[in-house]
Chain A
Amino acid sequence: MATNRAKRINMAGMLFAMLIATTVHAASPQLNRVLPRGGQRGTEIDLVLDGVRLADAKEILFYEPGISVTKLDIVNEKQVKAHVKIEPGAELGQHTLRVRSATGISELRTFWVGPFPIVAEKEPNSEFDHPQKIDLNVTVEGVVDNEDVDYFQIEAKQGQRISAEIEALRLGDAMFDPFVAILDSNRFVLASADDTALLKQDAFVSVVAPKDGSYIIQVRETSFGGGGESRYRLHVGTFPRPRGIYPSGGPAGQAVPVQFIGDVLGPIAKTLQLPAAPSEDFLVLVDHNGQTPPSANHFRVSPFPNVMEVEPNNEAKTATPSDLDAPFAFNGIISEKSDIDFFKFKAKKDRALEVNVYARRLHSPLDSVLTIYDAKGNQIAQNDDSGGPDSYLRFNPPADGEYLLSVRDHLNQGGPDYIYRVELTFTKPSVTLAIPNNGGQPTQERQTIPVPRGNRFATLIRATRANMGGDVSIAAKDLPDGMKMDAAPVVNGGDVAPVVFEANADAPLAGKLGDLIGHPLDPNVKDSDGTFHQVVELVYGPNNTSYHKIPIDHLTAAVTEEAPFKIDIVEPKVPLVQNGSMNLKVVATRKEGFKGVISLRMLFNPPGVGSAPSIDIPADKTEALYPLNCADNVPARKWKIAILGSSDVNGPLWVSSQLANLEIVAPMIIGKLNMAAAEQGATTNLVCEIEQKTPIAGRAKAQLLGLPANVTAEEKEIGPEDKKIVFDVVTTPKSPPGQHGGLLCQITMIKDGEPIVQAVGRGGTLRVDAPLPPKPSATTKPAQVVEATTKPAAPPPPKTLTRLEKLRLEQEQAAKEGKTP
């Protein structure tokens, strides 16, 4: 008995040790969901974070201020609990976060801060007659199961504003398109909403209670779908819910009088004190009777002044004029059906203007059509959708003078909330940086920078240029201590470059929200440095179309625990020749006992360079050759390359090689393969005429590749003096007859002990002929036929004949033998 127990303890100990062993080298954690989906500001709540590889979680990185983690408990490998404090001043709406563990960084997920206390949805509430009773000014956290309908009952007084706003698709959990309605106690729908311009698929409804009594809020998926992941946060209360702000932009640093439009109680007038710095999407929450809506309206803070429309301006002659010179912004509302607004502005010849309508981008229902006219009212240019549903034109004035522009709705719709803003600005060079999509779904793959201590990690960075060209250098800002970045510039004509991050062996384990700076290297482009701007895809709908994506402005990097392997490129001493190939050597340094297969992939192929998608370093090996080839006609220049290595250590762990040099040079030898033909079983000469642009140093080997089966040609050796290579092509009676294209001559020369391989005469052709069937008259002499074709090659000294010469010779021979061809 005792021994038994000892055994058990022993075994338990071993199991424990094994667990430790397998979790030492872990990949980045995976974060699937955060529950609850939100909290009330000014409170403290417990969050449950579900995922994979969470056992070594160290912190939760919140991108926005206002939420702090006071306690982090690891429940198990798949769950972490966090006690968080939401500051009273925390911004309402979406907060983004990732989990950082000792070994990596998770996906981005969201958490929502609201103004109201949270109430959990309680089933059964799927029938109108049995709703869940709730108070006003609460947030319900619920789930719409498949074909589920949730009903909530509130009590309201006559004249009281009842608003319901849902966060569903916005939560980023699932393709859940909600529908919200307010019904009276007799089942009459007072207001319903499916999709809204302000919240896209999400919805809000507002009514003024017609009398004292109960009202029912209905929530369902718009087409009776739903499921376990179809979670929502439903805010029900007396809060204001404007649809837009007019004007929806204003000059930075100034106090701007605005109207919040579309609230059920009518427009709300306010004066906004705008920040000093311009902002593309400034979020504004209106305060009305001490309440704000649960989510903001959108506003543009611009470095230029406003011009407001003056109705009537439905015709060119009543156009609202601007006394200002660009840049400035016109503001207006397409207030009713078939409304069209005209504006007049001054412009200078050849001083190109960017004319941008902001409507849908400001969540206005307007689908604008922008038209520009000359002073006489003749149309010059028109655009509907170049800025998404918004309109955009680059207008190059043909002469100094006055011009007109008009804005209308594409379907000639209109309404009090069809707000828009037309910004007239001058073109300005700009650049933004982002990590390109790494493959299929989920597209959050490798969008963060976890760098193991004493190791490297690499990514491509895409530079999106506007109104400029030229090289862009990339620099990093706010990386964790002990981490540095080595980046190749994004060269003119391309848009991506490899970037390698390296962490010191003694760097502290820590994560940080950093940034990248893209700097145009063209000295004529000034003040146009760009930063990191990543769009994170959260929800996909039918046909893998993106339904919800959110922008983030931080590059998240972390120093993680040591990885069990490291890889390095053995930098080639010889160049890659156009039309040539190379085997790039990659060596792996394995930690004692690490036996995983290391999968390698080129992070970046310079233009024209092709490679296998990936190759493996087998478990028992420490190196591999990565075959590269180079196309014809690509620029000769030096590139930086890097190779990523990954291995499955309870999930994929990624490291990178150093940033290595690869030079592409023009071909040293050019040439062409002449056509050749042989009857089955015969031997023929195939000539490769060459021109040595760079004379061969020493001797080189030439090989004829691409021959069909049962056809051989011996390798030849050539020197600097050779002008042609003659291959003896040997066929057999089994050689397949027909035209065999795609032959090439591969020349391999050695420099600095490394081979330079290149192909010449690509596309050569060999024809193999089946012997003619013996003619009835000639059946007696079949042997001579073969003899006749082999003869020309036989006489010494061997003279290589062109195809034409051979044909002539054959003809003559045949004539001599009295054969009719």
Chain B
Amino acid sequence: MSTMRRIIFASLVLAPLCAFPFLFAEEAPKPATGPRLESFPAKITLETSRARQSIVSRIAQPNGITKDVTTEAQLSVADPKIAVFEGNILKPLADGTTEVRVTHSGQTQAIPLTVHNATVERPISFKLDVMPVFLSTGCNVGSCHGAARGKDGFRLSLFGFDPDGDYFRITRELATRRINLAQPKESLLLLKSIGAVPHTGGKRFAEDGPQYATIMRWLEAGAPKDSPEVAKPTSLEILPTQMVLEGEGAKQQMVAVAHYSDGTERDVTSQALFLTNNENSAAVSPAGLVTAAKRGEAFVMARFATFTVGSQAIVIPKDLKYEFPNVPENNYIDGLVNNKLKKLRIVPSELCSDEVFLRRAYIDIVGQLPTASEHDRFVTDTDAKKRDKLVDELLNRKEFVEMWVMKWAELLEIRSNNDVSYKSALLYYQWLEDRISRNVPFNQIVRELISATGGTFKSPATNYYQITKENLKLSENTAQVFMGVRVQCAQCHNHPFDRWTQDDYYGFAAFFSQIARKAGDDPREVIVFNGGGGEMKHPLGDRVVAPKFLGGETPDTKGKDRREVLADWISSPENPYFAKNLGNIVWSHFFGRGIVEPVDDVRISNPSSNPELIEELGKKFQSYNYDFKRLVRDICTSRSYQLDTHTNPTNEADERNFSHATVRRMRAEVLLDCIGEVTNTKEKFRGLPLGSRAVQIADGTTSNYFLTTFGRATRETVCSCEVSMQPSLSQALHLLNGDTVQSKITNGNLVKQMLDAKQPPEQIVKDLYTRCYSRQPNEKELAKLLTFLPQAHGTTQPSVDETQKALNDLFWAMLNSQEFLFNH
């Protein structure tokens, strides 16, 4: 009977959160200001006789749509003696200054042009000319000669991070094999590349192509080694930086310009490697031609030398009728979110109901469910500002602090191990709790942490240096946790999809090279301090690398604790990552997804879905003096946070732009605490007094079956992926058959207490609904549920026992329902 009843109850309450029809009106388009001609690059310098520059033009519509007119635009040089066009490629003729004119549909745009050394041939350079060939033709990728051990006996550095090593391997290793200076044409390097002799990698380029010519020229010159004065590339630009393509098949040509340390610039479109992160929306050809496909958003990237830069490409259907609804904007967040939605022609979902908001805010902010009285108070409140009031109230609760202590404990890997005693872990946790509950500005906390000095008991922040003791790992973790940057790749080679070079990696790691440790009084305690000595060595050449901020300057650390210098920078506004990263971490907690996702993988090839929004969050966080409570307030009071989970046709496919709320399973600790809360039971964890909540667990090694099953972070790495929200069969089985739900219902004995208090069964059903779902059952639900209670059958008065059993079964079914398990 009971099992049967449970299944029936379950079928009632487990029904998916049904979508309801979404209504929005299409309004008339706003008046346009007219299309605008745009040409790239904005200025041109041609240096030496071989310099070339391609020009890309497009028409930008007032509604943001861009159309490539590169091939249609008329190109001319004002002073034809100075330069000449071949197609859309400009060639120098004589030194001088003039301008290039681009004309299309009645509009003309002028681009200043300067030509230097028009008749001088720039000497061929291995680094500037030959190395880019290996990159653009894929010779030095990881699956070919860029592999750690090379391929078929020949190794090139991955993506060319070690040009000097490559020069050595081509010219000196296996002398006379790879190049033949007497007969350059017979060089194996060329013969293999054009497929003239068997080559596992096949034909990479043609004999009549520019790559062949470049290498040939270098060989004919005697395969010279670059003098140390040869300019180094300092940055890369890819133009245009943003495009909105309308309709499948729309195209946009890109142009890539590299800037060099000697102040010159070169068109490297033909040497750059073009990539896209979303082939479905926008594919890119090796020559840099973007072709639109399905509706969506893509990030088109170009890689040249050590640089990767990207450009946003939005693809919308042709002739889409779209009007953004007139919705209020609660604060800056809504404006920025909506701007992005407008670009994508997406209409946001409706505002969620009060009851949904109440439950969502409780779970997200304090990790608990509202009590019945809290529910009633909120629902009956008529104040227009009641949602803001609720957020403020929740922010001042101790549980809010505990949620964030837990989140930071995860990122800081607070757990006991052979080097960190339980006492240390507990003191570390208490230190963090103290700081967060006193609302110490977050940059201050991070500063304390990174420059921590002293005993692991007396100055618990020093446990940061005990939980991970390896210097390279410490620097990687620091970059990942506080800047959201993963630099791990650059330990062995330049980062293939980001700007980080080995120099950056070891320069950053050098801040951690002088940490010293000694035994404390208590054998469990370690004293961490600045040893004042120790250098970081670069694996190439074993040279000492001076401390350098990641993406920043090389500070003076002489006679200082390097970690203090680093701590000052990391937590300062000069660090372009810190505030944005923290803003993003907070954001991701409330939306289930970061603006950059994952939050700890900020890189050029993983762009943020809304750069302006993340920028603004960072700015606000800074201007609030890193008071993240205020940031949470901004987020939770924004309309964007309060959207419904139900979608409309324009946003049903959107997962990245916050056009609707997402259904998120409660995280393990919160779920266990909520089950405890609704069933009125207490949990016991090792090393904590009875009744402590799972959120309060100090030591990452403390867990139980429930928490482990539901993906609690073990705090073994700093990765944001530690917390698993993936559903699994064992989770479902544990809830259905495991001892957590059933035994808590029995131990809490709530239904019996209600019955003892002479509450009618109907009222108990309502109470349980409020407890678990923060809402009242609707008529239909109530009517259906009541039919399963013994009262509904026969005329005889059912025993209290029978009623209790039936209600407990209902309770069980509710705790197993998606509506309970998910925050929506």
- Asked if A and B bind, the verdict is yes
Which positions 384-410 of chain A face chain B at CB distance < 8 Å? 384-385, 389, 410
Known: A195-B521, A411-B529, A542-B524. A147 touches B423 (CB 8 A): no
Indicate whether B522 reaches chain A with its CB closer than 8 angstroms: yes
Residue-wise, chain B 392-406 has the 8 Å CB interface mask toward A (1 for contact) of 000000000000000
Indicate whether B689 reaches chain A with its CB closer than 8 angstroms: yes
One of B422, B518, B689 near A149 (C-beta < 8 A): B689
Indicate whether A354 reaches chain B with its CB closer than 8 angstroms: no
Q: How far is the CB of B800 from chain A (nearest CB, A)?
A: 34
Which positions 342-366 of chain B face chain A at CB distance < 8 Å? none
Q: Is the CB of A410 within 8 A of B523?
A: no
Complex formed: what's the CA distance from A543 to B419 in Å?
A: 11
Residues of B within 8 A of A222 (CB): 423, 426
Q: Is the CB of B454 within 8 A of A195?
A: no
Residue-wise, chain A 506-548 has the 8 Å CB interface mask toward B (1 for contact) of 0000000000000000000000000000000000011101110
Q: Is the CB of A545 within 8 A of B523?
A: yes
Residues of B within 8 A of A547 (CB): 522-523
Which positions 514-542 of chain B face chain A at CB distance < 8 Å? 518, 521-524, 527, 529
Q: How far is the CB of A361 from chain B (nearest CB, A)?
A: 12
Q: Is the CB of B524 within 8 A of A541?
A: yes
Q: Is the CB of B522 within 8 A of A201?
A: yes
Q: Is the CB of B688 within 8 A of A224?
A: yes
Q: Which of B421, B453, B521, B687 has the most CB of A within 10 A?
A: B521
Residues of A within 8 A of B812 (CB): none
Which positions 682-721 of chain B face chain A at CB distance < 8 Å? 687-690
Q: How far is the CB of B320 from chain A (nearest CB, A)?
A: 62
Q: How far is the CB of B714 from chain A (nearest CB, A)?
A: 20
Residues of A within 8 A of B427 (CB): 223
Number of interface residues of A (CB under 8 A): 26
One of A200, A201, A224, A411 near B687 (C-beta < 8 A): A224
Residues of A within 8 A of B422 (CB): 223, 225
Indicate whether B457 reaches chain A with its CB closer than 8 angstroms: yes
Complex formed: what's the CA distance from A413 to B527 in Å?
A: 13
Q: Is the CB of B453 within 8 A of A223?
A: no
Complex formed: what's the CA distance from A177 to B524 in Å?
A: 11
Known: A195-B457, A223-B426, A542-B421. A147 touches B524 (CB 8 A): no
Q: How far is the CB of A766 from chain B (nearest CB, A)?
A: 44
Residues of A within 8 A of B518 (CB): 384-385
Q: Is the CB of B426 within 8 A of A147?
A: no
Complex formed: what's the CA distance from A547 to B426 in Å?
A: 20
Residues of B within 8 A of A384 (CB): 518
Chain A: CB-nearest residue to B459: A411
Q: How far is the CB of A723 from chain B (nearest CB, A)?
A: 59
Q: How far is the CB of B532 from chain A (nearest CB, A)?
A: 12
Which positions 569-616 of chain A face chain B at CB distance < 8 Å? none
Residues of B within 8 A of A147 (CB): 687-690
Residues of B within 8 A of A541 (CB): 523-524
Q: How far is the CB of A640 from chain B (nearest CB, A)?
A: 38
Which positions 201-245 of chain A face chain B at CB distance < 8 Å? 201, 222-225
Q: How far is the CB of A159 from chain B (nearest CB, A)?
A: 30
Q: Is the CB of A223 within 8 A of B521?
A: no
Residues of A within 8 A of B529 (CB): 410-411
Q: How far is the CB of A34 from chain B (nearest CB, A)?
A: 26
Chain A: CB-nearest residue to B688: A224
Residues of A within 8 A of B527 (CB): 367, 410-411
Indicate whether A98 reaches chain B with its CB closer than 8 angstroms: no
Residue-wise, chain B 601-639 has the 8 Å CB interface mask toward A (1 for contact) of 000000000000000000000000000000000000000
Indicate whether A453 reaches chain B with its CB closer than 8 angstroms: no
Q: How far is the CB of B17 from chain A (nearest CB, A)?
A: 41
Indicate whether A360 reaches chain B with its CB closer than 8 angstroms: yes
Residues of A within 8 A of B522 (CB): 177, 195, 200-201, 547
Could you tell me the dominant secondary structure of chain B's interface residues? loop
Q: Is the CB of A200 within 8 A of B521?
A: yes
Indicate whether A374 reaches chain B with its CB closer than 8 angstroms: no
Q: Is the CB of B524 within 8 A of A411?
A: no
Residues of B within 8 A of A224 (CB): 426, 687-689
Chain B: CB-nearest residue to A389: B521
Indicate whether A810 reaches chain B with its CB closer than 8 angstroms: no
Indicate whether A553 reaches chain B with its CB closer than 8 angstroms: no
Complex formed: what's the CA distance from A410 to B421 in Å?
A: 23
Residues of B within 8 A of A478 (CB): none
Complex formed: what's the CA distance from A389 to B521 in Å?
A: 8
Indicate whether A194 reaches chain B with its CB closer than 8 angstroms: yes
Q: Is the CB of A223 within 8 A of B687?
A: yes
Q: How far is the CB of A311 from chain B (nearest CB, A)?
A: 25
Complex formed: what's the CA distance from A240 to B457 in Å?
A: 27
Which positions 117-155 of chain A face chain B at CB distance < 8 Å? 147, 149
Q: How far is the CB of B776 from chain A (nearest CB, A)?
A: 37
Residues of B within 8 A of A223 (CB): 421-423, 426-427, 687
Chain B: CB-nearest residue to A127: B689
Which positions 421-447 of chain B face chain A at CB distance < 8 Å? 421-423, 426-427
Q: Which of A195, A200, A546 has the most CB of B within 10 A?
A: A195
Q: How far is the CB of B426 from chain A (nearest CB, A)?
A: 5
Residues of A within 8 A of B423 (CB): 177, 222-223
Residues of B within 8 A of A545 (CB): 523
Which positions 454-503 of chain B face chain A at CB distance < 8 Å? 454, 457-458
Q: How far is the CB of B465 from chain A (nearest CB, A)?
A: 14
Q: How far is the CB of A388 from chain B (nearest CB, A)?
A: 9
Q: How far is the CB of B5 from chain A (nearest CB, A)?
A: 40
One of A385, A411, A546 near B453 (C-beta < 8 A): A411
Q: Is the CB of B421 within 8 A of A360?
A: no
Complex formed: what's the CA distance from A262 to B431 in Å?
A: 26
Residues of B within 8 A of A197 (CB): 521
Q: Which of B427, B454, B457, B689 has the most CB of A within 10 A?
A: B689
Complex formed: what's the CA distance from A541 to B522 in Å?
A: 10
Complex formed: what's the CA distance from A197 to B421 in Å?
A: 20
Q: Which of A147, A197, A545 has the most CB of B within 10 A?
A: A147
Residues of B within 8 A of A201 (CB): 522
Q: How far is the CB of A475 from chain B (nearest CB, A)?
A: 37
Residue-wise, chain A 543-579 has the 8 Å CB interface mask toward B (1 for contact) of 1011100000000000000000000000000000000
Complex formed: what's the CA distance from A411 to B518 in Å?
A: 12
Residues of B within 8 A of A385 (CB): 518
Complex formed: what's the CA distance from A197 to B458 in Å?
A: 11
Residues of B within 8 A of A411 (CB): 453-454, 527, 529
Q: How far is the CB of A236 from chain B (nearest CB, A)?
A: 23
Complex formed: what's the CA distance from A546 to B598 in Å?
A: 46
Q: How far is the CB of A441 from chain B (nearest CB, A)?
A: 15
Residues of B within 8 A of A360 (CB): 521
Complex formed: what's the CA distance from A194 to B458 in Å?
A: 9
Q: How far is the CB of A387 from chain B (nearest CB, A)?
A: 13
Which positions 540-593 of chain B face chain A at CB distance < 8 Å? none
Q: How far is the CB of A1 from chain B (nearest CB, A)?
A: 58
Chain A: CB-nearest residue to B424: A223
Chain B: CB-nearest residue to A194: B457
Residues of B within 8 A of A410 (CB): 527, 529
Q: How far is the CB of A135 from chain B (nearest CB, A)?
A: 28
Complex formed: what's the CA distance from A367 to B527 in Å?
A: 11
Q: How far is the CB of A816 from chain B (nearest CB, A)?
A: 51
Q: Is the CB of B687 within 8 A of A225?
A: yes
Which positions 754-781 of chain A face chain B at CB distance < 8 Å? none
Complex formed: what's the CA distance from A397 to B156 in Å?
A: 60
**Contact sample, A vs B, 21 pairs, CB 8 Å cutoff:** A147-B688, A177-B423, A195-B521, A195-B522, A201-B522, A222-B423, A223-B422, A223-B426, A223-B687, A224-B687, A224-B689, A360-B521, A385-B518, A389-B521, A410-B527, A413-B454, A542-B421, A542-B523, A543-B523, A546-B523, A547-B522
Q: Which residues of B contact A (CB under 8 A)?
A: 421-423, 426-427, 453-454, 457-458, 518, 521-524, 527, 529, 687-690
Given contact pairs A410-B529, A411-B527, enumerate 5 new A-B contacts (beta carbons under 8 Å): A177-B522, A224-B689, A384-B518, A543-B523, A547-B523
Task: Give me the 3 closest cross-chain CB pairs, A-B, nearest first.
Answer: A545-B523, A223-B423, A223-B426
